[in-house]
């Protein structure tokens, strides 16, 4: 499919050729055929024709070029040398649906038979004006892409042991946990966050017309203005809501069909797995305890040692390894700084029949 940028470049080439002295009836017929191929062709041509008439030919000649790019010296003399039909052989419809109503009352073909010749400026004035017109063109193209495509696209990630706050253009804020990665796409219709790895907490700016969608694989946690946390562990997803309501959706259930939508009010802790969705409803304060990582802590309440060790390993490059399977089921509790694994291990040695073998890259826990 031909992109909008390519279509505008074709349209600008037609405009340049149209003003050449060699323009013929055959050329006009070819232009009319190109305009009939797609509404996108007509839109691009009409828009650039207006710019051509109001701001001079230079704006249109630069259409389709990357922002800030000056066409090569030879490209200014397009008359008789550049044929738009040579620019692309696979032109297809690139529909701009939002512009259809505005075009429905327009004539099928722009009227060129009565066009007046454009006054040609002197070479000196032309060169003086070229820089200013290119800047204006860059602004025009930037506005078009801002209006009709994503207004923000970016990726963010944190290293092991790192936390990062990311402010988005809509006013929302993402807090990325350790070793996490997201891809952000903000468009006119939706705010989409692809949680590719790890965990993130979202303070969502309210916008009823643009849902805030956090996706992880085939699951989505959707809100319009709330606060919630999403954590991705392989194929499992955990969602914690501390304010507002979040809608949890999934494409694939255990039977291969879509799972029912789950509404999660504040205080909910939901775990979505291949077996389905399990929701624990409690107070907001209880839900917040799962999010102590934002302050540098992790909490355990009768947690199996194997799970506690895995949580510490999310934040530390120096890993804790359970050397004897028999100690993995021991239950531990307490509030710990996730950056201080050594302190956690010392407490294990004091309170449990566990000994630690410390190395540069790992700490191995064994039974005594």
Give per-residue pLDDT as tens, 215-272.
999 999 999 889 999 999 988 999 999 999 999 998 865 555 566 899 999 999 999 9
pLDDT, tens digit, for every residue of 288-334?
999 999 999 999 999 999 999 999 999 999 999 999 999 999 999 99
Residues 284 and 305 both lie in one domain? no
Whether residue 269 is found in the same domain as residue 316: no
Does residue 33 carry a pLDDT above 80? yes
Average pLDDT of span 3-30: 80
Q: What percent of the chain has pLDDT over 70?
A: 68
Q: How confident is the model at residue 97 (pLDDT cuts 50, 70, 90)?
A: very low
Pair 61, 105 in one domain: yes
Specify whether 60 is located in the same domain as 102.
yes
In this structure, the strands spanning 227-233 and 191-203 are: antiparallel
CA-based nearest residue to 224, from 194, 253, 263: 263
Q: Tell me which of 127, 148, 169 is where a domain ends.
A: 148
Q: Are residues 70 and 122 in the same domain?
A: yes
Query: What's the whole-number mean pLDDT along residues 152-179?
Result: 96
Span of 47-61, 105-119, 212-226, 227-241 with lowest mean pLDDT: 105-119
- Strands (DSSP E) contained in the chain are 152-157, 164-167, 173-176, 181-186, 191-203, 212-216, 219-223, 227-233, 236-243, 245-250, 262-265, 268-273, 276-281, 297-304, 319-322, 331-337, 354-358, 362-367
State how many domains the chain has.
Answer: 3
Instruction: Reply yes or no on whether the pLDDT at 156 is more than 80.
Output: yes
Last residue of some domain: 99, 129, 148?
148
Domain that holds residue 219: 152-288
Burial (CB count within 10 angstroms: exposed 0-12, middle 13-18, buried 19+), residue 211: middle
Q: How many CB atoms lie within 10 A of CB 60?
A: 27
Angle in degrees, 0-180, between the axes of helices 341-351 and 305-313, rounded to the nearest 10: 160
List the CATH number of the domain containing 314.
Answer: 3.55.50.30
CATH at 272: 2.60.120.1440
Residues 171 and 232 grouped into a single domain: yes
Higher pLDDT, 318 or 62: 318
- pLDDT value of residue 196: 96
Whether residue 239 sits in one domain with residue 109: no
Q: Is the domain of 216 the same as that of 277? A: yes
Considering the domain architecture, whether residues 203 and 158 belong to the same structural domain is answered as yes
**117, 148, 179 - which closes a domain:** 148
Percent of the chain with pLDDT over 90: 52
Residue 17: band (very low, low, confident or very high) from pLDDT cuts 50, 70, 90: confident
Q: What confidence score (pLDDT) does residue 139 get?
A: 53
Where in 60-176 does DSSP place strands (E)? 152-157, 164-167, 173-176
Residues 140 and 160 in one domain: no
Q: How high is the pLDDT of residue 16? A: 79
Q: Quick one: 59 and 71 in the same domain?
A: yes
| Shared domain check, 161 and 110 | no
Note the pLDDT of residue 101: 44
User: Please, are residues 100 and 39 in contact by the beta-carbon 8 Å criterion?
Assistant: yes
Confidence category of residue 22, pLDDT binned at 50, 70, 90: confident
């Amino acid at each position: 499919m031909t992109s909008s940028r390519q279509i505008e470049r074709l349209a600008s080439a037609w405009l340049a050729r149209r003003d050449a002295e060699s323009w013929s009836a055959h050329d006009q017929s070819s232009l009319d055929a190109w305009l009939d191929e797609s509404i996108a062709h007509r839109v691009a041509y009409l828009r650039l024709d207006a710019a051509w008439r109001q701001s001079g030919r230079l704006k249109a000649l630069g259409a389709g070029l990357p922002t800030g790019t000056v066409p090569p010296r030879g490209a200014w003399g397009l008359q008789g040398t550049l044929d738009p039909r040579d620019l692309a052989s696979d032109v297809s419809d690139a529909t701009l649906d939002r512009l259809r109503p505005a075009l429905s009352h327009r004539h099928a073909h722009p009227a060129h038979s009565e066009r007046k010749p454009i006054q040609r400026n002197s070479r000196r004035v032309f060169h003086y004006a070229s820089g200013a017109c290119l800047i204006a063109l860059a602004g025009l193209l930037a506005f078009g892409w801002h209006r009709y495509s994503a207004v923000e696209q970016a990726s963010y990630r944190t290293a092991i042991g790192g936390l990062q706050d990311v402010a988005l253009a809509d006013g929302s804020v993402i807090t990325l946990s350790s070793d996490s990665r997201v891809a952000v796409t903000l468009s006119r219709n939706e705010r989409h966050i692809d949680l590719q790895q790890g965990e993130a907490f979202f303070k969502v700016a309210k916008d009823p017309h643009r849902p805030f969608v956090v996706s992880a694989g085939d699951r989505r946690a959707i809100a319009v203005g709330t606060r919630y946390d999403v954590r991705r562990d392989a194929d499992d997803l955990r969602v914690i809501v501390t304010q507002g309501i979040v809608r949890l959706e999934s494409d694939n259930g255990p039977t291969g069909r879509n799972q029912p939508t789950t509404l999660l009010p504040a205080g909910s802790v939901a775990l979505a797995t291949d077996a389905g969705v399990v929701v624990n409803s409690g107070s907001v304060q209880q839900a917040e305890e799962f999010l102590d990582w934002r302050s540098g802590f992790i909490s355990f309440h009768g947690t199996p040692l194997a799970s506690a060790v895995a949580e510490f390993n999310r934040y530390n490059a120096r890993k804790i390894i359970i050397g004897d399977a028999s100690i993995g089921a021991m239950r531990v509790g307490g509030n710990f700084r996730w950056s201080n694994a050594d302190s956690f291990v010392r407490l294990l040695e004091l309170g449990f029949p566990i000994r630690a073998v410390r190395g540069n890259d790992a700490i191995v826990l064994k039974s005594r």
